Structure 1
């Protein structure tokens, strides 16, 4: 069953409530806050807490079936990895040192607090950086000692999203059948590291950013700063490159020649591209919560419809 699409007024109210929750939570943490300013909003509302150099991030768009505990587990992983990267000299948005590095529950929202990063004049949200930066990040992440789930964006909520997409008016019955077929072909192969290695052989798997790191950067006066590790997980590096195209993959491979990393595997590039397309199409189920997503996904869905339905994995 399709859910009603939120109106602009309803989205504005959601943002307002998220800001109020961040303001209250910050006060309870003894942060000095006189005003809030929305810096960005899409899947999360990102709020500057003036005059303190702190930014609150509040997830507001969730896949079907997501529990509060799952949201906070994801946030805890992100806080831990980002903090670890900062301690090891990687330019990254770090958890605010002014509060404990843990999510705070307030008025139904799960909130994390981050150190403010000043943006450079040429910063634009999601503007891609050169693929070489992904190689540098992967080299740093390879040493991360903590436990992480395998391909969390694929194995977490995607099964429920695929089912929910069945009710999307943006997909035809033929689209739905194709989505289900591709999901059922990929899911057993990517379910865990053992299944993955059984299919692809002894391929290096390591901690990865999980959500196109070249697009999740902040351009600051001190250079590029990595951000948004909500989907951090273990997996092949090809997942972080999925959908970027052959030219970007070639640039990544050239960069790793001087690093202690392997070159990409064409079989994995193809498999991860396919898995990412399934994720993107299934994300249409989130359009009622985030209407602007429809326009953003349109080119991906169009390309998916035009491609060979056979998955060679």
Structure 2
């Protein structure tokens, strides 16, 4: 968010928690992108604040967390002191979560794989209406194929991303018999190392697809510890995910920090991943 919008988001998160009876003397910005994560102290709440246009995503994330609360999923929990819902204030959608203090050590690949396996097992126990991963690909394709949405994308790279997104999405989704609910983006940035063990956050990315789609977001070493996965399918999913990542970076309104570097790096990762699959 821009500084002026961030100030409003911080105040919306602080005021919402205070009015719900939580003590807020200090606010620390943990993450700032199209939405922000705020640590509220001393009540130890993590407030996720998004523009009201993202209200549906926020409500879906709360719904996912509510379903997973009873099946021992390794995920961050909503704050139990307030109603499990999305609060609206000053054009922002706000959800309140338990804050988990991170521990220092990195999560080992085997532990990442174990957390993902347990998360998949929990997801198989719930009934939830979630989009298929191909819906996400369809949105990315619209961005890539529309020159007004991605005006700076060179023609040769536009063709690369379009063919990769369309071709791999179709190939991966031919057999949907093994599809299940997934986290959607269980990369290391969405896995916290806490005193309770590794916990996944950012549950709004939940979707349906093969477990390999999730595993392709994890470090490659983690895949070696997830014996049930198809290695070749994971590699194809990894190429697809780098194409998705690149498509978002070339959007006209993308606000990722250091976007220009990631535009180049993303395309290089797509080509390298396709080469590893024998599709370059």
TM-score surpassing 0.5?
A: yes
What SS is found at the alignment partner of 1:101? coil
Counterpart Cα distance in 1 of 2:190 and 2:219: 17
Partner of 2:7: 16
Is residue 153–residue 231 contact of structure 1 (8 Å, CA) maintained in 2? no
Counterpart Cα distance in 1 of 2:142 and 2:87: 26
User: Structure 1 regions of 5+ residues with no counterpart?
Assistant: 1-9, 61-66, 191-195, 254-262
2:39 maps to 1:48 = yes
What SS is found at the alignment partner of 1:112? strand
What SS is found at the alignment partner of 1:251? coil
Is residue 26–residue 42 contact of structure 2 (8 Å, CA) maintained in 1? yes
Counterpart Cα distance in 2 of 1:13 and 1:310: 45
More divergent stretch after superposition (160-169 vs 98-107) = 160-169
2:42 maps to 1:77 = no
Is residue 238–residue 269 contact of structure 1 (8 Å, CA) maintained in 2? yes
Q: Which has the higher contact order (CA 8 A, sep 6+)?
A: 1
Q: TM-score, normalised by structure 1?
A: 0.74
Root mean square deviation of aligned Cα = 3.2
In the comparison of the two structures, how many residue pairs are matched? Answer: 275
Counterpart Cα distance in 1 of 2:70 and 2:264: 40
Q: Among 180, 186, 199, which residue is 1:225 paired with?
A: 199
More divergent stretch after superposition (268-277 vs 140-149) = 268-277
Q: Among 49, 53, 78, which residue is 1:95 paired with?
A: 78
Q: Among 31, 35, 39, which residue is 2:26 paired with?
A: 35
Q: Among 120, 131, 136, which residue is 2:103 paired with?
A: 120
Counterpart Cα distance in 2 of 1:243 and 1:46: 21
| C-alpha displacement of 1:44 | 2.9
Q: Among 237, 256, 269, which residue is 2:211 paired with?
A: 237
| C-alpha displacement of 1:101 | 1.5
**Matches for 1:70-219 after TM superposition, within 5 Å:** 71-122=54-105, 130-151=112-133, 154-155=136-137, 157-163=139-145, 167-169=150-152, 171-186=153-168, 196=173, 199-200=174-175, 203-219=177-193
Deviation digits for residues 142-167 of structure 1 (CA, Å, limit 9, x no counterpart)? 11122222127725732343246763
The structure-2 alpha-carbon separation of the partners of 1:288 and 1:58, relative to structure 1 and needing over 3 Å to count, comes to same
Q: TM-score, normalised by structure 2?
A: 0.82
The structure-2 alpha-carbon separation of the partners of 1:132 and 1:214, relative to structure 1 and needing over 3 Å to count, comes to farther
